[in-house]
Structure 1
């Protein structure tokens, strides 16, 4: 159930235009027919497109979690009462708009429709605080209410709204905030995934049986390696200052933890059993906990 393919391509194009508008004056000084420049521009466009395409949309990880049969755990989502404390700092508001977007996806995927409406109202407050008037409006809430019985439609609405938000911020030359929305959404999805694994009871089943039960969830976490790398690349393109610097420091730790697992090599050698264990995710889980704490505190 991959809704990101429906809208992220257009977001990538807007992102590319936004990046190149900043350098338009420099381009005028160069030869319009420069093959080298055209090729470099084309390569960069493809790279940006790939980065944006690979990062999961807000509903993707939650829907993957639901598909594994994992039970819903409402204690993992961010308290919506905290939203007012994020409104005084734009960076914080953007990060937690992404967090709440994934929380809405998690609620929707488990048919918690009334709660999802409450969180949608919370997300709207943060969007309003950021000056995003078009993405989160009365018509969105109405469309959500009209589709409460259709999980797929709600997921599509959520993803489209976040894509519109990111595109609006990019178009308004607020690349930093758009990147932070994406980062908040991704980190929240990874946080919920790793916490579901960590909190699974250890005294009910033998370790091998427990790992077998957890295998689908562990796979969800392992499959985010590429997205983690791409998010790092995206944030490296932003101005160097907190919270971007802190996010990058933790993402680099996360990338090292993924690399240490040597996932592709283990699978190639038919030793996937070595990585399909919650113990192998200890470093990833710890780093994600730290990152998420920094986002929502």
Structure 2
């Protein structure tokens, strides 16, 4: 099975009631503070090589989960995406970066379903956050706007959107701003997972492929937790890391087995090679799936209410 590894973030909280949820949200906001910039001295002057490798191995695509949902025949729902009116509340680079990732995943979802009107509102919010993070140069907003109004150009629109995020990610990693890249990755992953898990939550007969893809994200959560551990000198990142560790705990019941398939010959770069095929099987018990769904819902909603 092809692994679904998409850009992504999280602040997972184990279950709490309405009153305790309110307190958790307020405490989290206090930890994030109102400093407009991340303190790079609290992050690290240079990201360790191991962390750079983890960051690079988490490949990014804001549309992969959306593509899976569409191919499974899932109908579009605007209830799943973040409200762009909240963008003015994101007054620190930490909040901006996480929510730029969230809006990026929403943009992929909107593009996949050809929702022109919401795309324009989403792009306005992305433009604001990208300007405040000083990465607006990677978005050709005029071209994106033109393509968004013509559904016949959906492939070009999706290509340009993905290129924009990928180029921005490369720039951030190469220019000493890997912490921003990490937060954007976290935000995108969380939103993709939120949309997919909400689909399952509202479905009487959950799609087995979607369930398996969600279960297959256990390895991604492990990678993200490792990545965030390198930033734990910063209180903001420590909270995020600890929350990801709790998300990982929600995956405890997920098991994955690998079945060796038949080897086959393939031509790669003009050379015939023997490739050993593997088939993976992911098991997600109903109780574990429910825990994952509820945890991600709480986490994501706290992220957009920062």
Q: Same fold, TM exceeding 0.5? A: yes
| CA apart distance, 1:81 | 0.7
User: In the alignment, is residue 150 of structure 1 matched against residue 153 of structure 2?
Assistant: yes
Q: Which residue of 1 aligns with 2:79?
A: 75
8 Å CA contact 1:54–1:226 kept in 2: the answer is no
Q: Which residue of 1 aligns with 2:29?
A: none
Seen in structure 2, the aligned counterparts of structure 1 residues 156 and 273 have a Cα distance that, compared at 3 Å, is: closer
| CA apart distance, 1:260 | 2.3
**More strand as a share of residues:** 2
How many residues matched?
A: 246
Question: CA–CA distance in 2 between the matches of 1:273 and 1:190?
Answer: 17
Deviation readout 1:155-212 (Å, 9 max, x if unpaired): 22222111222223333322211110110000010111111111224xxxxxxxx24x
Seen in structure 2, the aligned counterparts of structure 1 residues 226 and 147 have a Cα distance that, compared at 3 Å, is: farther
User: In the alignment, is residue 200 of structure 1 matched against residue 203 of structure 2?
Assistant: yes
Question: CA–CA distance in 1 between the matches of 2:203 and 2:213?
Answer: 15
Q: Which residue of 2 aligns with 1:178?
A: 181
Seen in structure 2, the aligned counterparts of structure 1 residues 166 and 239 have a Cα distance that, compared at 3 Å, is: farther
Q: Which residue of 2 aligns with 1:284?
A: 292
Seen in structure 2, the aligned counterparts of structure 1 residues 132 and 292 have a Cα distance that, compared at 3 Å, is: same
The equivalent position to 2:216 in structure 1, one of 207, 210, 223, is 223
8 Å CA contact 2:254–2:288 kept in 1: the answer is yes
Question: CA–CA distance in 1 between the matches of 2:221 and 2:168?
Answer: 21
User: In the alignment, is residue 64 of structure 1 matched against residue 68 of structure 2?
Assistant: yes
The equivalent position to 1:190 in structure 2, one of 180, 183, 193, is 193
Q: Which has the higher contact order (CA 8 A, sep 6+)?
A: 2
Q: Which residue of 2 aligns with 1:111?
A: 114
The equivalent position to 1:241 in structure 2, one of 213, 217, 234, is 234
Seen in structure 2, the aligned counterparts of structure 1 residues 246 and 140 have a Cα distance that, compared at 3 Å, is: farther
User: In the alignment, is residue 125 of structure 1 matched against residue 118 of structure 2?
Assistant: no
Question: CA–CA distance in 1 between the matches of 2:46 and 2:60?
Answer: 29
| CA apart distance, 1:66 | 1.4
Gaps of 5+ in 2: 6-43, 260-280
| CA apart distance, 1:273 | 9.4
Q: Which residue of 2 aligns with 1:13?
A: none
The equivalent position to 1:101 in structure 2, one of 100, 104, 115, is 104
Question: CA–CA distance in 1 between the matches of 2:139 and 2:215?
Answer: 32
8 Å CA contact 1:247–1:291 kept in 2: the answer is no
| CA apart distance, 1:91 | 0.6
User: In the alignment, is residue 163 of structure 1 matched against residue 161 of structure 2?
Assistant: no
The equivalent position to 2:254 in structure 1, one of 249, 256, 261, is 261
Deviation readout 1:253-282 (Å, 9 max, x if unpaired): 22222232223389xxxxx7963x654311
| CA apart distance, 1:143 | 5.9
**More helix as a share of residues:** 1
Question: CA–CA distance in 1 between the matches of 2:145 and 2:283?
Answer: 48
Question: CA–CA distance in 2 between the matches of 1:126 and 1:77?
Answer: 17
Seen in structure 2, the aligned counterparts of structure 1 residues 82 and 52 have a Cα distance that, compared at 3 Å, is: same
Question: CA–CA distance in 2 between the matches of 1:134 and 1:69?
Answer: 36
SS in structure 2 at match of 1:134 = helix
SS in structure 1 at match of 2:152 = coil
Gaps of 5+ in 1: 6-20, 25-40, 202-209, 267-271
Provide the aligned C-alpha RMSD in A: 3.2
TM-score scaled to structure 2, two decimals? Answer: 0.70
SS in structure 2 at match of 1:260 = coil
